[in-house]
Amino acid sequence: MEDVIPLPVPEGRKAAKKRVRSDPAGEGRNRRDNARKLAVLGAEDEAVRRLEAQVFGTEHELLDRLAQGEELRPGASLLEAEPEHESESEGEEPRRPRAPAWVDEDDDGVEEVDMTHRYRRNLVRGGAESSMTTERLQQRMRDEFQKSMGGTPSWAEPGRRRKTAPEEEEEEEEEDLLRKTGNLVASSESLPSGVLKMKKCLHANSARPSEDRLTAVQFHPSAQVVMTAGLDRSISLFQVDGESNPKIQSIHLERFPVHSAAFSADGQSVIATSLRNRMFYLYDMMEGRVSPVHSVRGLNESRVKEFSVCPDGGALLLTGTRGYLHLLTLKTMEVVRSMKINGNVGGVAFSGDGGRFFTTSEDGEVYVWDLRSSRCINRFADDGCVRGTSIAASADGRFLACGSQSGVVNIYSQEACLSSANPKPLKAVMNLVTAATSLAFNPTSEILAIASRAEDDAVRLVHLRSMSVFSNFPVANRKLLHRAACLHFSPHSGFFSLANNKGRAPLFRLLHYKDF
């Protein structure tokens, strides 16, 4: 015999007597009657919920209306809010509602929309809204759009009049920023500190790597070209695009390992010096002619390794031995002046206007020279320096950086270096542990690059406004730079490159700067 679960008996009604004899047929009929009654009750409850939703609205709508303090007309439903009529000026005819621009004929045949579809679930505000009429769904979508827009947009207002041409132009000027895509908050023009946004590109000389150590890398002053030179007795030119960097030209200098090379001020020639003699080469890129300069009148030196190009373009400043400096005119190829400091010359740097130049000595002193008169106008001891190894001046005339054998790089104010006999550094950068052999400011004077060729990846970039080192350069645990011998930035700071001991010139795109 099957067990029968008795239905709950309402209070006040006498419970039925327990049956003594079982009737399977009767029990089946009772179960069917009970199931039918439950289905009818469920349908009535569903109908009641739908009716309540249509008359009073869903629970969320009712709470929203109560929160907004809407006043309903007597007899009006909570679903239909009282329409807002705009005040019309006297004598002006009321505007007729505009017809929609496009009507989908298939929508007219749809009376009920299934709200359980995954594309419409976010529009459902209650469990009773399993379906909805098309008119109600359209109203719901309008409400959601206005909520996301913060109200009805001006272009969607029914009574909006057409603007005249002057008003449209004024509105376009005021809202020009809002019509553009992208970030509404413009990035600052100044370079931020902390992390430098950059991209590692293909090596600048990937089309022709050097077979020996690179000693020089420099960007052309006006063209999108980079020059590399090294101990493999070659000078190469490459077009800089950051992707393939194709080779433009390469020349070979017989028995002449290049120690230093640079573009002339006008960018039409390349000057190159070697290690063991005073001979140097002039490579005219316009005519494709290589001219050796075997001797220079008035130059009493057994060898010339280092030189600097004067910003005015008419002369070279040759670094001799025993502390001598020689000013050579390119027009007549003769030395017109010679200057001397105590000790050997550690480095030379020209000011941005070319009127002065700075030299550092191996005795730890810095000399300031006037180029026109060849007179030393100031001299001071580099703070804490025992032996000077490098020097660089910013193009805007604000900073002077001095590198030492201990790896400390002192950053001074150029103004203080011109007038004070004991200037104090603005910052002592101590991120290098070996001799600071290369220094370079970027053209905007926002970055100072420092490097040591005595250790792998000993390269740092200093943010000058905050006097802090960028934390993401070089990349940790990845040997990409090796031992750097020369550093250089492109004319508008868009690229940065260096020459290393592997015959490569790693190239980086500085994303903060838009131009080459």
Q: Is 21 a residue whose pLDDT tops 80?
A: no
66-70, 271-275, 367-371, 484-488: the lowest-pLDDT one: 66-70
Look at residue 76 in the predicted model and tell me its pLDDT. 45
Residue 85 binned pLDDT confidence (cut-offs 50, 70, 90): very low
Decide if 72 is inside a domain.
no
C-alpha to C-alpha distances, 213 to 131, 218, 500, nearest whole angstrom:
77, 15, 7
The dihedral through the CA atoms of 61, 62, 63, 64 has a sign that is positive
- In the numeric block, which tokens belong to residue 442? 């970027």
Is residue 470 within 8 Å of residue 194, measured between CB atoms?
yes
Which pLDDT score is estimated for 155?
63
* Confidence band, pLDDT 50/70/90 cuts, at residue 102: low
pLDDT band, residue 242 (cuts 50/70/90): confident
Residue-level pLDDT at 62: 64
Q: Which of 26-40, 138-152, 257-271 has the highest mean pLDDT?
A: 257-271
Assigned domain for 171 exists: no
Residue 244 counted as domain residue: yes
Query: What integer pLDDT is reported at residue 145 of this predicted model?
Result: 75
Domain presence at residue 258? yes
pLDDT over threshold 50, residue 103:
yes
What gap in Å lies between CA 352 and CA 326, rounded to an integer? 20
Lowest pLDDT segment from 67-71, 216-220, 295-299: 67-71
Residue 118 has pLDDT above 60, yes or no: yes
Q: Which residues contact 153 (CB under 8 A, 6 or more apart)?
A: none
SS3 per residue for 178-239: HHCCCCCCCCCCCCCCCCCCEEEECCCCCCCCCCCCEEEEEECCCCCEEEEEECCCEEEEEE
Q: Is pTM beyond 0.85 here?
A: no
Q: How confident is the model at residue 175 (pLDDT cuts 50, 70, 90)?
A: low
pLDDT (tens digit per residue) in 155-169: 666 665 555 655 566
Note the pLDDT of residue 78: 42
Query: For 6-13, what is the mean pLDDT?
Result: 53
Q: Of 25-29, 67-71, 227-231, give the lowest mean pLDDT range.
A: 67-71
pLDDT at 443: 96
What pLDDT was estimated at residue 83?
A: 46
Domain containing 376 — which CATH number?
2.130.10.10
- DSSP-assigned letters across all residues of 240-285: --SSS--EEEEEE-TT---SEEEE-TTSSEEEEE-SSSS-EEEEET
Name the band, by pLDDT with cuts 50, 70 and 90, for residue 178.
very low
What pLDDT does residue 84 have?
Answer: 46
pLDDT at 306 over 90: yes
pLDDT band at 348 (very low <50, low <70, confident <90, very high): very high
What pLDDT score does 407 carry?
96
Q: What is the model's pLDDT at position 139?
A: 85
Domain count, the chain: 1
Which residues partner with 403 through β-bridges? 390, 409
Residue 119 inside a domain? The answer is no
What is the pLDDT at residue 509? Answer: 96
In a domain, 146, yes or no: no
Does residue 218 register a pLDDT over 50? yes
Q: Give the tens place of pLDDT for each residue, 413-442.
A: 999 999 999 999 999 999 999 999 999 999
Token pair, residue 126, equals: 């209650």
β-sheet bridge partners, residue 509:
199, 495
Whether residue 77 lies inside any domain: the answer is no
Average pLDDT, the chain: 83
Kindly provide the residue ranges of all beta strands, DSSP E only, lying in 285-437, ordered along the sequence: 289-293, 306-309, 315-319, 324-329, 334-340, 345-350, 356-361, 365-370, 375-381, 388-393, 399-404, 409-413, 427-429
Within a domain: 5: no
Using the Cα atoms of residue 476, residue 481, residue 486 and residue 492 in order, give the sign of their dihedral. negative
Q: Is 69 left (phi over 0), alpha (psi -120 to 50) or beta?
A: left
pLDDT of residue 11: 53
Name residue 292's beta-bridge partners.
Answer: 281
Determine the structural domain holding residue 432 and report its residue range. 198-510
Specify the pLDDT at position 113: 78
Contact 448, 436 (CB under 8 A): no
Q: For residues 451 and 498, is the Cβ–Cβ distance under 8 A?
A: yes
Peptide bond into 474 cis (omega under 30): yes
**Which among 223, 286, 183 is positioned nearest to 495, based on CA atoms?**
223
* Three-state SS letters, 27-83: HHHHHHHHHHHHHHHHHHHHHHHHHHHHHHCCHHHHHHHHHHCCCCCCCCCCCCCCC
What percent of the chain has pLDDT above 70?
72
Asked whether 425 and 412 are in contact (CB, 8 A), the reply is yes
Query: Hey, what's the torsion of the CAs at 384, 434, 394, 311, to 10 degrees?
Result: 110
Tell me how far CA of residue 345 lies from CA of 132, 381, 452, in angstroms. 88, 14, 18
Q: Which amino acid is at 181?
A: T
Q: What is the mean pLDDT of residues 245-260?
A: 95
For β-strands 345-350 and 334-340, DSSP reports them as: unpaired
17 pLDDT above the threshold of 80 = no
Mean pLDDT of 257-276: 94
Instruction: Give the highest mean pLDDT range of 93-102, 139-148, 224-233, 470-479.
Output: 224-233
Helices assigned H by DSSP within 329-479: 414-419
Band the pLDDT of 397: cuts 50, 70, 90: very high
pLDDT of residue 451: 97
The per-residue pLDDT for 124 is 77
DSSP assigned state of 352: T
**Largest Cα–Cα separation, the chain:** 139
Tell whether the model's pLDDT for residue 100 goes beyond 50.
yes
